[in-house]
Structure 1
Amino acid sequence: MSMSLTEPTTDADPRRWLALGLIAIAQLMVVLDASIVNIALPSAQRSLGISDANRQWVITAYALAFGGLLLLGGRIADFIGRKRAFVIGLVGFGVASAIGGIAQNQGELFAARGLQGAFAALMAPAALSLITITFTEPRERAKAFAVYGGISGGGAALGLILGGVLTEYASWRWTLLVNTPIAIATAVGGFLVVRESRAEGKPHYDIPGVITSTLGLVALVYGFTKANESGWSAGSTVTLLIAAVVLLAAFMVIESRTAEPLLPPRVFSERNRAGAFLVSLLIGLALFGMFLFLVYYLQGTLRYSAVKSGLAFLPFSAGIVVAAAAASNLLPRIGPRPLMAGGTAAAAVGMALFTQIGLHASYASHVLPAEIVMSLGMGFAFVALSSTALIGVDARDAGVASALVNTTQQVGGSLGTALLNTIAATATAHYLTDHGPRAAATGVVHGYTVAFTWGLGALILATVLSIVLVSKQRQAAAPGSSDTSSTTEPTAFEQAEVLDGIR
């Protein structure tokens, strides 16, 4: 489907740099919210009495909603207007953050996190689309994307520090509440400053596809959670897993038959792109799981404060920045396969080092080396992934293909967090059965290392897929990168820059 963008004027917007500042603040909140809550999770779990089986929902509810609704959010923003979607997304995100901040039980917190993810899925595509529309001069647009990419990269590290400071000196609740006044103020500014633009034509939304895919993923995650509580052979677990398979199969059938699919099957027909999406899914599984258990290891086992544990993750952020910058220069010369395969292999080595942590290990001897090696590998892999996702794709599918890199990483992360949390809890329970309750502390760390081992397996598989599926040839730049005539083009900018922004 081909549609044109309706722009208010071809003249440069005199308030375009102020608009960029507002858009950058919105993106900062989206990026911050992923890392800031990780550091606060142990405190939130104690405060609300969340079980070990259910703690992963604080992360997976946000990731599932964000990743699962991102494609629909971009389509909605195109048709209702990017400015309108941006403002609605900001207000909704702020309200959802407030609900989470005052939550009195785990159900309210999980629901609030899901709402945050849903509104972020509307806000994020609109934000980058607005940059594409607002900055029409190539040099200015490049500067705007550089600012946006820097915010995307630095936001994660800032979230780790801010999450620690707020949790330690105020309350874990402020890691959510802090979003509300900022989001509302930014929404007001966006309403007053940002220009509107929308796609022409009759809107088409693949609602059956959204429903079946989202419910299927939720059933799968909930099935993993029930396996932790009741066992893999329990009727509730089996029922949920069967429902997940049926719903996801229905989603694939719907996508193959609908005229305007949410996820066109043709996007997966090219081997390189299919490999990139699978590797992204596996990286998300390993990366999200690593963050979850390392936070608990630092705070629970090594007795780090929230601030200290946030600072302990900074070398990981720095490693990604350094490696991604180097990869950007290497990619045109050597192609994506060496970067993707080498990056995932290095990440696997880092994860292997994490499996060696123990009750009396130290940060300097065990955690820091693993962080550095894994982060360098992730930085190389991320750049290759975001590039490969757009190689040879039709202009009409550019937005979907690029968005899928982020979507698969979020979905992989939500599934991996739930699955690895169940695996860790089961391993700890078996350890305590064999060694008695006096070995509780050692048993908990044993559960972490078992989860890290499964994450290692995912990264090894990602390395194999990178070698087998991704071409070794150098690739040309993705087509249509500067064309603003496609409905999905702004979303392509958005997702590529979100990933590449960690450079």
Structure 2
Amino acid sequence: MDTPYARSGRNTIALTAICLAQLMFALEISSVPVILPTLEKLLGADFRDVQWIMNAYTIACTTVLMAAGTLADRYGRKRLFVGSLVVFGVASLICGLTESAPLLIASRFVQGMGGGAMFICLIAVLSTQFKEGPERVKAFGIWGIFLGFGLGFGPIIGGVIATLAGWQWVFLVHVPLALLTFFLAINSIEESSDPDAKKLDVLGMITLSLAVFGLSYYITQGSAIGFASQTGLLIFGATIVSLIVFVVVERLNAHPMFDFSVFGIRKFSGAIMGSIGMNFSFWPFIIFLPIYYQGALHYDIVAAGLSLLAYTLPTLVMPPFAERLSHRYQPGIVIPLGMFTIGLGFILMRFGASAEHASGFTLLPGSLIAGIGLGLTNTPTTNTTTGSVPPNRAGMASGMDISARLISLAINIAVMGSVLVAGIAEYLKTALPQSFDASQRLAVAEQIASGSIDSLGERFPALLHVDSLNATVESALVHGFGWVMLYGGLGVWVLGAISLIIFGRQKAAQYA
């Protein structure tokens, strides 16, 4: 029989493994954006490839999210955690060794499947390994620190690794970390399962994944295949059909992974608007912001990573303050306030980016305020979505919350990319000679949006005759980012207003 000391020591090792896995998952979201301009140049990737390098990971996480929880309950949380860790490590190895953009996208998808399953198992393992009381509170607190550290410091970590060892090691670093985590976990994490685990909602999982992938593909590839072309309309139609089938399946399923009845709980619905708002604006923009720093301001990869700290660090220090505000003023005020603050940050960044002598310092106020807004929104949203439903449905509510975030992120990576290209192309209408037709302007805009500015003359020789080409390109990039910042700012304000209305109705109902 284990002594309390032996159990405590094993739990310490288990917590170390859990935190390392959480760190890897977070870094793959926040450290990769800073190397995207480098990948575009070295792998011969175009702007759509750059978007898919990020979106493949996000969509894959969404695909396995709910299924992983059910599989972990049925077959063992430790077993699935270790298996997903192996998948993540092998996929990271392939990501680092590839010299092909399509193979990198495919391996990122596999990596996302491993990462998504790993993430769900982390929460389940924490809940079973650490019992109620101070030990559990401490374990979840430490785990949250590693999540915040990975997301907050990921850009500078990615930049430093890429500078010192090459972009490949942004992925390859996870191989030794995964091996270390594997050996720590194998003898320390206790196996657990649920003998009454519900059946896997295969049809729901497939239809939701097809709907998210179809919409992301339609938005990302629409300019190439034609939004109104037969192929484009077929993809869009299939996406709508998949979404309708998903809703029908979930309503008919006795144990759905998405129980739509919880939207009748206004606190839950208001908080979900916060989940969508953060990933409508803040998180997808972190993927494009390095392109601005490197393309418009000519920062190197480390300087771009350092500049991004102003955007991410407030998200680490604000949660405790946000929690105190939620207890004092209620989430129905704090969550919309957080989204309004994010939007204000985006508008200020737009002014900073268009300043006559724009720099990281002119973007600093907006970056800080957007990060503060994210910090105000995140923790209250998580706590409200799970706390507004009965305890036996908290796991399902948490899954819906995470799914709403990932789906919003996947779709808005595609939308923000399209808005950026459209803004650049609009500027080029008057800046380029009339000999450039719409399709040529679009091609130039996509290359500018990807950050590959130095090779423009090689691909489009006619541009070499444009006066002040570099100034024109930089102005076009700034103009495009102005559109993106306006889209992010106004969009999150609209979602914040919807959240406030929903919460307001809930409050009115309480006093009726």
Matched residues in 1 for 2:419 and 2:121: separation? Answer: 38
Q: Between 213-222 and 13-22, report the one with greater CA deviation.
A: 13-22
Q: Does 1:330 align with 2:325?
A: yes
Matched residues in 1 for 2:419 and 2:478: separation? Answer: 13
Q: Does 1:399 align with 2:432?
A: no
2:245 to 237, 242, 250: 250
Offset, 1:128: 2.1
CA contact (8 A) 2:285 2:416 kept: no
Instruction: Name structure 2 gaps, 5 residues minimum.
Output: 433-462, 464-468, 508-512
Matched residues in 2 for 1:466 and 1:293: separation? Answer: 27
2:62 to 59, 67, 74: 67
Equivalence for 1:239: 234
Offset, 1:9: 12
Offset, 1:355: 2.0
Q: Which amino acid aligns with 1:418?
A: A
Q: Does 1:415 align with 2:415?
A: no
1:311 to 306, 314, 317: 306
1:113 to 108, 111, 120: 108
Q: Between 350-359 and 139-148, report the one with greater CA deviation.
A: 350-359
Matched residues in 1 for 2:8 and 2:337: separation? Answer: 44
Q: Between 227-236 and 371-380, report the one with greater CA deviation.
A: 227-236
Equivalence for 1:157: 152
Q: Between 21-30 and 116-125, report the one with greater CA deviation.
A: 116-125
TM-score (norm 2): 0.87
Equivalence for 2:489: 456
Equivalence for 2:475: 442
Offset, 1:200: 0.8
Equivalence for 1:380: 376
Matched residues in 1 for 2:198 and 2:326: separation? Answer: 38
Please list, as runs of the form range in 1=range in 2, the aligned pairs for 1:183-222 lying within 5 A after superposition: 183-201=178-196, 203-222=198-217
CA contact (8 A) 1:315 1:368 kept: yes
Change (3 A) 1:359 1:111: farther
Q: Which amino acid aligns with 1:100?
A: C
Q: Which amino acid aligns with 1:274?
A: S
CA contact (8 A) 2:70 2:197 kept: no
TM-score (norm 1): 0.88
CA contact (8 A) 2:282 2:342 kept: no
Count of aligned pairs between the two proteins = 467
Q: Between 207-216 and 165-174, report the one with greater CA deviation.
A: 165-174
Q: Does 1:432 align with 2:428?
A: yes
User: What secondary structure, in the 3-state scheme, does the structure 2 residue paired with 1:15 have?
Assistant: helix
> Residues 64-116 of structure 1, C-alpha deviation per residue, up to 9 Å, x if partnerless?
11133212111111111111111001110001111111122221111111111
Matched residues in 2 for 1:82 and 1:391: separation? Answer: 24
Offset, 1:259: 1.8
Matched residues in 1 for 2:121 and 2:305: separation? Answer: 30
Q: Between 417-426 and 398-407, report the one with greater CA deviation.
A: 398-407
> Residues 445-472 of structure 1, C-alpha deviation per residue, up to 9 Å, x if partnerless?
2112112211112111122112101248
CA contact (8 A) 1:86 1:126 kept: yes
Change (3 A) 1:278 1:330: closer
Offset, 1:428: 1.4
1:358 to 354, 361, 366: 354
Offset, 1:417: 0.7
Offset, 1:342: 1.2
CA contact (8 A) 1:34 1:156 kept: yes
Offset, 1:354: 2.1
Q: Which amino acid aligns with 1:415?
A: I
Matched residues in 2 for 1:435 and 1:450: separation? Answer: 17
Matched residues in 2 for 1:106 and 1:21: separation? Answer: 34
Offset, 1:364: 4.7
Please list, as runs of the form range in 1=range in 2, the aligned pairs for 1:21-100 lying within 5 A after superposition: 21-100=16-95
> Residues 110-141 of structure 1, C-alpha deviation per residue, up to 9 Å, x if partnerless?
11111111111211121222222122151111
Structure of greater relative contact order (alpha carbons < 8 Å, 6+ residues apart) = 1
Q: Which amino acid aligns with 1:21?
A: T
Equivalence for 2:295: 300
CA contact (8 A) 1:285 1:414 kept: no
Instruction: Name structure 1 gaps, 5 residues minimum.
Output: 1-7, 475-503
Q: Between 150-159 and 32-41, report the one with greater CA deviation.
A: 150-159
User: What secondary structure, in the 3-state scheme, does the structure 2 residue paired with 1:429 have?
Assistant: helix
Q: Which has the higher helix share?
A: 2
Q: Which amino acid aligns with 2:392?
A: R
